[in-house]
Amino acid sequence: MNIILLGYMGCGKSSIGRDLASKLKMECLDLDDYIEAQEKKSINQIFEEKGEIYFRKKENEYLKEVLETYSNTIISLGGGTPCFAGNLELIKDNKDAKSVYLKTSLQELVDRLFVEKDKRPLISHLNLEEDLKDFIRKHLFERSFYYNQAEYVISTDDKTVKEVVAE
């Protein structure tokens, strides 16, 4: 059995995934890290040199590969993964995986992402907090449709990583 963590950028998928894996004695895999290792480039470089369409195509291929080859693993997706190219179906139709949406409020995402936006090509150009907030509001509205189809939804607001992992 695998556990798939999904949710918006900055919701804590990677850090929660690491802690949950050690608590449940499972392996842990971050899809962005996997893509970077396979492509031998950072996510920023892939977006810059090859563009988003190329990234989404690779994200879809590597998601399939990971779901087929890994077991007993916590898999943290990228924020956009469930929203592109049939990935949601891959996640939902996978009988060997449970999916969990880590749900974070708009303001908490803005607060977290404003200080770590540089490694995220979709938002790194937004220098004003208000612009970042507007972007996330719209993006989250579009993406919530996909995120909400996860089997479980856990709110991360005002919780430590430990508390989310326990829940």
Q: Binding residues for ligand S3P, per CB under 6 A?
A: 9, 13, 32, 43, 78-80, 120-122
Beta-carbon contacts of residue 30 (< 8 Å; ≥ 6 apart):
13, 14, 17, 76
Minimum distance of ligand S3P from residue 128's CB (angstroms): 20
In whole angstroms, what is the distance from residue 75 CA to residue 117 CA?
22
Q: Which is nearer to ligand S3P, 2 or 87 (CB)?
A: 87
The least CB distance from residue 3 to ligand S3P, in Å, is: 16
Residues in contact with 43: Cβ distance below 8 Å, sequence separation at least 6, in sequence order: 32, 35, 36, 55, 78, 119, 120, 121
DSSP SS3 for 54? helix
Detail the residues annotated as belonging to a binding site.
10-15, 32, 56, 79, 120, 143
Question: Of 9 and 132, which has the nearer Cβ to ligand S3P?
Answer: 9
Between 63 and 165, CB nearer to ligand S3P: 63
| Residue 103 structure tokens | 């749900």
- Closest to ligand S3P by CB, 16 vs 43, is 43
In the complex, what is the shortest distance from the CB of residue 17 to ligand S3P, in angstroms, rounded to a whole number? 10
Feature table: binding site for Mg(2+): 14
Give the helix/strand (H/E) hosting 101.
strand 97-103
Write down the least CB distance from residue 111 to ligand S3P, Å: 15
CA distance 102 to 62: 22
